[in-house]
């Protein structure tokens, strides 16, 4: 009889939720630090959509809109 269960593999970073994350820029000294309860890949996709749509919903998209990078 087995007493151990099958161990799952590590969770990929994009599947993490409830965390603080940072996004750096090659063109800017500063970076963006955010906090999300969503899955990280969903939140990053929202940031990308905001930037593509040229909206200012977050400090990150507002900075990109103002500075162009």
Closest CA to 43 of 17, 69, 61: 17
* pLDDT of the residue at 4: 66
- Do residues 24 and 31 lie in contact, with contact meaning Cβ atoms separated by under 8 Å? yes
- Do residues 13 and 22 lie in contact, with contact meaning Cβ atoms separated by under 8 Å? no
pTM higher than the cut 0.85: no
**CA angle, 38 as apex, 53 and 59 as ends, to 5°?**
45
pLDDT tens digits, 16-68:
888 898 888 777 777 889 999 998 889 999 999 998 998 888 888 888 888 87
């Amino acid at each position: 009889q087995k007493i151990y269960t099958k161990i799952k593999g590590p969770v990929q970073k994009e599947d993490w939720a409830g965390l603080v994350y940072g996004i750096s820029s090659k063109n800017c000294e500063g970076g963006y630090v955010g906090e999300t309860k969503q899955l990280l890949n969903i939140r990053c996709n929202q940031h990308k959509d905001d930037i593509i749509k040229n909206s200012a919903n977050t400090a990150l998209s507002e900075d990109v809109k103002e500075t162009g990078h």
